[in-house]
Structure 1
Amino acid sequence: MATLIDEPRQSMPTRAPRRRRSPRVGLAVTCVVLSLALALVLVAHRWIPDAGGLRLVIESGLPWLGLAIPVLLVFALLSHSKGAIAATVVPALVWAVVFIPAMLPLSWTGSPATASDTLTVASQNVEADSGTAAESATALAATGAQVIALQEMDDDARAEVDAVLDDRYAYSYGIGTVGLWSSYPIENAQMLDLGLGWQRGIAADLSTPVGLVSIYVIHAASARPDDHADRDTMLANLADYAQRDPNSRLIMMGDFNAGASDRNLSALTSQLSEPNQSGGGLGFTWPASLPLTRPDHVLARGMEATSNTTTRAGASDHLALITTFAL
């Protein structure tokens, strides 16, 4: 009888246990610290001390700090730390809460305003040395705006603008480097004393079909990291004017030399609102070739905006603002 011999069993090859990548502790900690610091800056930038002009630089470019978030996320992924990855979500959420509401298209922010009477205003810093103030005036008049406000005009620019607009607008008032042209009668026009004795502001009333609308044209003092005290004084005084103005409808527009996140503008924006852009986004206006911030504003109360856009006019380094309100 044949003897059965058991064949040796072949053992299954064993896999070496997969090594779990150890977190890179130093990189992870750095990502966590920077993520939380970024979130803190976004939400509490008004408490940053004004040392070496740091405050002004950060507040002028605050929305751009969001570009740091994907960079932090990449490094967090490289650190192989779940905690670091989770930490990058914090500034992302804060950025979204702070800026996305202002970036929504105007039509998304409420019920569309309808009115038989509307008021369209146009505003631009025409840049004194651009030599194209007349081109700006022509382009803004072509939008159908009933009110045009221009800033940073020298004597030659004013003469050129007058030649373009005086035949199209029955009413005008100018002083210093600022000017106002209107299809509606201008009443009580005067230089706006902003505490510095400079002729860079106008206060007036527009006589519209629904009553008086206060109109302010502003060219605030320049703001540099190491020199913005004069601008701060002007903005503080503007807030006081807005508070004391008796008209229920009010528009304040021009070059405020302050971005929307600048703490010195907050005294105004707590009383007056700035409508979202019709097409969404933050509506940056300077520099015109590659806008990075928004020193130009149209602020209002007592009226709901139906459209709000920026546009190129002339060769100024500022884009122009075109805003329509339902009266």
Structure 2
Amino acid sequence: MSQATRDPVRARRTAPRRGAIVALLVTAVALVAIVLLGAVPGPLGTAIAVVLPWLGFALVPLVVGALLVRPRTAWIAAVPVVAWTVALWGFLPVPWQGGPGAGDGLLVATQNVEAGSGTGAASARTLAADGAQLLAFTELDADSGAAIADELADAYPHAYRVGTVGVWSRYPIVDQEALDLGLGWKRALRVTVEAPSGPVSVYVVHAASLRPGAQSARDGMLSALGERIRDDRTPRVVALGDFNAVSTDPALASISRELGEARFGGLAPSFTWPASFPAVRIDHVFQRGFAEAAAKTTTAGRSDHLAIIAALRG
């Protein structure tokens, strides 16, 4: 075959490969842009934060495609993979970490019990049986609040309830305060629990619901909570409940700067809602002052939220 004949053949073979590389580059740039825009406060950042964990599935064909087109193009996929991993670093599960268990420290549990579900007593019974010393419930109504109080009266004699949130403790509550966090009505509380290892400042929050075009109430509550935690001088602080925000939502930034989220073990991302097919984690346990915080999700009662149990040690 002459040189003149070989050149057009080579060109025909190279053109599709170049097109594939361009497509990979465009896809990689788009994915990186999406990850970066997820840090922007407001509806856009919130929407991206919700889909960000699932975006990992888009990285799989990108990596495979880059390797198939040409191994040397693998760097194209590496950039969005690194960006995605960094953005989700505090959220990703720790495969080698076991779940929470009995031992020294403080075992806490939290669940949104879904108003009207009639699950209060069943949820309280299940979480108490797991050995938690402190239980926090959100979206309480009159019936579920009374049912939980009756169920836990003997084993958890120290309790404080405000509106739709409540906390029950095996250890004495030496200080308590209702919080509206700028909402205008009480959907949060703060107590000081006298644990064996010393006082722990505990915040229980049921953030305002997130609705399209109306998220300022939620964002304002979370920002105000972050400010309260920043000014809290207690060495050990725990904030738990239904935050109506996923881990990477920019609205949680003021809280995340002060507290670290309890990490989940295994390979699954440990979503909490909806319980029938968990797709997002909007319930959280945050803390500071403890050396280790290991968490897991569990089913309790008939709520549309899974519960979280977290062991805080050290």
TM bin (shorter chain): 0.7 to 0.9
Q: Pick from 192, 197, 205: which aligns with 1:210?
A: 197
CA contact 2:175–2:192 (8 Å) conserved in 1: yes
Alignment partner, residue 152 of structure 1:
139
CA distance in 2, matches of 1:77, 1:69: 12
What's the CA shift for 1:235?
A: 0.5
Is 2:11 aligned against 1:22? no
* Structure 2, unpaired ranges of 5+: none
Count of residues paired in the alignment = 305
Alignment partner, residue 49 of structure 2:
59
What's the secondary structure of 2:38's corresponding residue?
helix
What's the CA shift for 1:17?
A: 7.0
Q: Given residue 297 of structure 2, which amino acid in structure 1 is its aligned partner?
A: T
Indicate the structure (1 or 2) with the bigger Cα radius of gyration.
1
Change (3 A) 1:101 1:298: closer
Change (3 A) 1:118 1:74: closer
What's the secondary structure of 1:121's corresponding residue?
strand
Is 2:28 aligned against 1:41? no
CA distance in 1, matches of 2:128, 2:249: 31
Alignment partner, residue 278 of structure 1:
265
Scaled by the length of structure 1, the TM-score of the pair is 0.83
Is 2:24 aligned against 1:31? yes
Q: Pick from 266, 280, 283: which aligns with 1:296?
A: 283
Is 2:184 aligned against 1:192? no
CA contact 1:54–1:225 (8 Å) conserved in 2: no
Equivalent runs, 1:314-325 vs 2, <5 Å: 314-325=301-312
What's the CA shift for 1:273?
A: 0.7
Q: Deviations over 1:237-294 (max 9, x none)?
A: 0011101112111111001111111011011111101121133543211111222211
Alignment partner, residue 268 of structure 1:
255
Q: Given residue 124 of structure 2, which amino acid in structure 1 is its aligned partner?
A: A
CA distance in 1, matches of 2:46, 2:26: 23
What's the secondary structure of 1:223's corresponding residue?
coil
Equivalent runs, 1:1-327 vs 2, <5 Å: 19-20=9-10, 21-24=13-16, 28-47=21-40, 50=42, 53-73=43-63, 80=69, 86-99=75-88, 102-105=91-94, 117-305=104-292, 307-326=294-313
Q: Deviations over 1:217-236 (max 9, x none)?
A: 10000112321100000011
Change (3 A) 1:100 1:177: closer
Q: Given residue 200 of structure 2, which amino acid in structure 1 is its aligned partner?
A: V
CA distance in 2, matches of 1:314, 1:290: 16
Q: Given residue 233 of structure 1, which amino acid in structure 2 is its aligned partner?
A: G
Alignment partner, residue 5 of structure 1:
none
Change (3 A) 1:279 1:74: closer
What's the secondary structure of 2:308's corresponding residue?
strand
CA contact 1:218–1:255 (8 Å) conserved in 2: yes
Q: Deviations over 1:97-146 (max 9, x none)?
A: 4436643538659xxx9x97411110000111322121111101111101
What's the CA shift for 1:83?
A: 8.0
* Structure 1, unpaired ranges of 5+: 1-15
What's the CA shift for 1:28?
A: 4.1
CA distance in 2, matches of 1:55, 1:44: 6
Change (3 A) 1:209 1:72: closer
Q: Deviations over 1:166-210 (max 9, x none)?
A: 122111111111111000011221211301222210111001223
What's the CA shift for 1:87?
A: 2.2
